[in-house]
């Protein structure tokens, strides 16, 4: 006997996602390449040192997608970049243990994992180790940096990672100051993104970001939401219920953009985020104020805006189930 999965009237408590406070990250573009970067003599770190014998990728062995050599190149990239930005950072790439408001890297995720919010979804982050590449955490972090301008009240955190969902490098930025769970988005700084991607690309086993690279605009984000569709009956019911008529008045929505992620918040403060993934796909997330987990998550293909996978309160939306 088959049961039809009925979405019914998806009734949502209209609110907005939790906001984080802190200094706004600069998206200034600083052109540089790893081959021309010189390590700055005034970029010395003062934090605790890592035990060299405990280095998580202590050699340049075949099969590692992050090596000591790449760590050194990232150190040079950061030394040049932070000098051009008028900022100062301590980083694990310089053998330092970095402390972000009491959360220390790498120990916070080394040999374990943390649950944080990345691209508006609850995700696991762990520290990359060459001998344990089977980790189930989505984001494999190879380096961390903490710092900013000397006169800013709160520091910034950067995590240099591989997104195993689409096998692409990403630089995650957090400026969360109001809780133990950190919120991450891709950095908007082009030089930092491109510099890290260039270093990672030295290993042919790691892919590059292959999604659309054009920056989101309010018009393109609204257009994407309006065109959402699905060939799956249950998913289409969810799309109609939460994204289409009688859905939000998108023209009244406020708009912001953070790297790959765009955010639309309607007049009732319900917040949708759209994050570009590799292979020309986008993940769309609806968050409700005061709720830890997203209400709805859609995965769509950019060419036709068809939602091929959907979740409601963390449960997979399916058209039907079969009872034997």
Residue 287 · residue 293 · CB < 8 Å:
no
**Predicted local confidence at residue 64, as pLDDT:** 67
- Tens-binned pLDDT, residue by residue, of the chain (324 aa): 333 333 333 433 223 333 333 345 654 433 333 333 233 333 333 345 554 333 444 444 445 678 899 999 999 999 999 999 999 999 999 999 999 999 999 999 998 999 999 999 999 999 987 655 556 899 999 999 999 988 888 899 999 999 988 788 999 999 988 768 999 999 989 999 999 999 998 876 666 677 777 889 999 999 999 999 999 999 999 999 988 867 778 888 999 998 899 999 987 778 999 999 888 999 999 998 777 789 999 999 999 999 999 999 989 998 654 343
Domain ranges of the chain: 34-200, 213-322
Q: What per-residue string of b and e applies to 266-304 under the rule 16 or more CB within 10 Å gives b?
A: beeebbbbbbbbbeebbbbbbbbeeeeebbbbbbbeeee
**Predicted local confidence at residue 25, as pLDDT:** 65
**Predicted local confidence at residue 246, as pLDDT:** 73
**Predicted local confidence at residue 132, as pLDDT:** 52
- The stretches of 86-176 forming alpha helices (DSSP H) are none
CA atoms within 13 A on the CB side of 189: 21
Can you give the pTM of this predicted structure?
A: 0.77
Distance of CA 123 to the CA centre of its chain: 9
**Predicted local confidence at residue 230, as pLDDT:** 96
DSSP 8-class letter at 215: P
């Amino acid at each position: 006997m088959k049961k039809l999965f009925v979405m019914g009237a998806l009734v949502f408590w209209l609110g907005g996602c939790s906001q984080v406070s802190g200094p706004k990250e600069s998206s200034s573009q600083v052109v540089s390449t790893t081959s021309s970067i010189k390590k700055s003599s005034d970029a010395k770190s003062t934090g605790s040192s890592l035990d060299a014998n405990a280095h998580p990728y202590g050699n340049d062995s075949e099969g590692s997608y992050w090596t000591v050599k790449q760590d050194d190149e990232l150190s040079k990239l950061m030394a040049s970049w932070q000098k051009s930005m008028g900022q100062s950072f301590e980083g694990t790439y310089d053998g330092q243990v970095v402390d972000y408001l009491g959360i220390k890297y790498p120990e916070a995720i080394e040999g374990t994992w943390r649950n944080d919010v990345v691209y508006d979804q609850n995700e696991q982050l762990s520290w990359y180790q060459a001998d344990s590449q089977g980790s189930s955490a989505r984001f494999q972090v190879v380096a961390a940096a903490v710092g900013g301008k000397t006169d800013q009240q709160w520091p910034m955190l950067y995590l240099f990672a591989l997104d195993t969902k689409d096998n692409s490098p990403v630089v995650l930025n957090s400026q969360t100051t109001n809780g133990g769970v950190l919120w991450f988005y891709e950095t908007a700084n082009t030089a930092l993104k491109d510099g890290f991607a260039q270093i990672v690309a030295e290993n042919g086993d790691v892919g590059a970001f292959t999604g659309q690279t054009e920056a989101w605009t309010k018009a393109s984000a609204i257009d994407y939401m309006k065109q959402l569709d699905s060939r799956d009956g249950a998913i289409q019911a969810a799309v109609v219920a939460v994204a289409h008529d009688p859905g939000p008045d998108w023209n009244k929505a406020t708009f912001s953009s953070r790297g790959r992620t765009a955010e639309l918040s309607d007049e009732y403060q319900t917040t949708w985020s759209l994050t570009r993934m590799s292979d020309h796909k986008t993940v769309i997330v609806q968050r409700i104020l005061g709720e830890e987990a997203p209400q709805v998550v859609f995965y769509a293909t950019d060419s036709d805006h068809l939602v091929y996978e959907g979740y409601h309160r963390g449960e997979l939306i399916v058209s039907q189930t079969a009872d034997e």
